[in-house]
Amino acid sequence: MPAQRDPSARRRYRRAVLGGGPPPPTPPAAPLRVLTGTVLDASPHVLALATAAGEARLPMTARTTVWHGGRRGPAAPHPGQQALVRMDAAGLAADRVWLDIGRVTGTILSAGPDTLEVDLGPHRGRARVSLEPRAHQLVQVRHPRLEPGYLVDVLCVRSPTGPRAVAPATSQPGHRADDLASPAPDAPVPATTRGTATWTGWPGAPQTTGMGDGTTFPPGPGTTTSASEQSVARNDATSASRPGGVRNDMSSIPGRGSGTAFVPMPGATSGDPSFSPSDPGPGKSRDDRPFAHGLTRETSAPRPGGAGSGTSFVSNPGGVGGGPPEDAVAYPAVEGEGTAGGGGEAPPGCVPLPLLSVGSGLDVVNDCSGRGAAMTVAECGCVAARFCDRCVECGTSPRGRIVELGPVAFAALGGDLDAGCFNVKVRWGAEGGPW
């Protein structure tokens, strides 16, 4: 069986044989700028972050909101915390700051009075979540059945012993994890599907799963916690404990480098074709394409006119390790044949979705913010497929989780991590023609 190829090569091949497709009627707005790193210093006016590219000093305004287990004031950031910062539309000041945030989504394996052991899916391992009495009450408001066999989806904050649940991320489905309502076998697949987009992962330094075996959470889709990576992640955890030690060793996607900054790239010129997730079609420049907003990470070069005098970039100058692919999504219907990347344990889900492979392209648009980007299928959304819920961020979405984004991509498209989801519109075959 051939080895899995570069996703960008697959897109190029598909475009060559099927041609380009019609553009969407209205192009989406560009993603926002997002940075992750370790808090070095914080004042009511400036947040200093240690990113992989160096120190970034981000202006804070009166409109900046801070989350750390709940809405907090500007005094909440403390040195050593892992922060994910979304800049405002102009890219000049921090708009939203999430501190030590993470998310645990999966099936409850066992439930104690103050802990939950959760199966995160066939490729993500397990986690043990601590539930303090106050958090237990909060979680039970939207998760009434904290029993084995039921699904759970909670927002957590970091702690040295493992994730600590603070609030429900979404409402718990009323059915058991294996009691799924599959679409009719002959249900047609529309070219564009609306539903729910959620996020998964732990931005910043590796976070232990709390299982006591040294395993850590993947920082986002497209990254795994295999045995070899786990040992690397354990080593990283020690180095990441000091400021500026952010390092994610999650480079399962070829061509994915390091760093965790997430910026729009309208007007960018063509570069390494294996790097850009949205290579323009033959005869088109990148600017001609409606989904020119690829999701890429900033390099070490200063950005003219950017905030923080060009110091707000996150990268890994040493070139060691790698970052989670920002354009990576977990997709519920990844085929299991050959090297497509899917697994046999993926349930059918409740939405009729086309079967795709790892490396396939999707156009993802946040229906609430209007921001969109071309994304790449990086892994099976086997857990997302078990949820048949709706998002009510802006109106009521149709049922079903269509994509699971990384935290950086989710925030860049205008989603609030503490809200848990946004209404999404997904167009299949990004850059491609009719299938």
Which C-beta is closer to other proteins: that of 243 or that of 255? 255
Per-residue burial over 105-140, b = 16 or more CB atoms within 10 Å of its CB, e = otherwise: bbbbeebeeeebbbbbbebbbbbbbbbeeebbebbe
Total chain residues near other proteins (CB under 8 A): 52
Distance from C-alpha of 411 to C-alpha of 261, rounded to nearest angstrom: 11
From 157, 177, 350, 424, residue interacting with other proteins (rule: CB under 8 A):
177
Question: For other proteins, which is the closer residue by CB, 312 or 360?
Answer: 360
Q: What angle do CA 73, 79, 83 make, to 5 degrees?
A: 65
Using the rule CB under 8 A, give the single segment among 43-51, 83-91, 175-183, 300-308 that binds other proteins.
175-183
- Cβ-defined contacts of 179-183 (< 8 Å, 24+): 180/347, 180/348, 180/349, 180/350, 180/385, 180/386, 180/388, 181/350, 181/388, 182/347, 182/348, 182/349, 182/350, 183/348, 183/349, 183/350, 183/351, 183/352
For position 255 contacting other proteins by CB under 8 A, the verdict is no
Q: For other proteins, which residue of 273, 302, 343, 370 counts as binding (CB under 8 A)? A: 273
> Which string of x and - marks every residue 349-368 that binds other proteins (by CB under 8 A)?
---xxxxxxxxx--------
3-state helix, strand, coil in the chain (%, to 5): 10, 30, 60
Binding mask 125-164 for other proteins (x = CB under 8 A): -----------------------xx---------------
3-state secondary structure (DSSP) of residue 176 = strand
* Shortest CB 425 distance to other proteins, Å: 17
Comparing CB distances to other proteins, the nearer of 314 and 380 is: 380
Please choose, out of 76-84, 94-102, 180-188, 239-247, the segment that lies near other proteins by the rule CB under 8 A: 180-188
Classified as helix, coil or strand, 404 is strand
Shortest Å distance, C-beta 249 to other proteins: 26
Tell which one of 32, 52, 340, 409 touches other proteins (CB under 8 A): 340
Report how far residue 47's alpha carbon sits from residue 85's, in angstroms, rounded to the nearest whole number: 10
Instruction: List interacting residues with other proteins (CB under 8 A).
Output: 1-5, 9-10, 12-14, 16-19, 107, 109, 119, 148-149, 175-179, 185-189, 273, 282-283, 333, 335, 337-340, 345, 352-360, 428-429, 432, 435
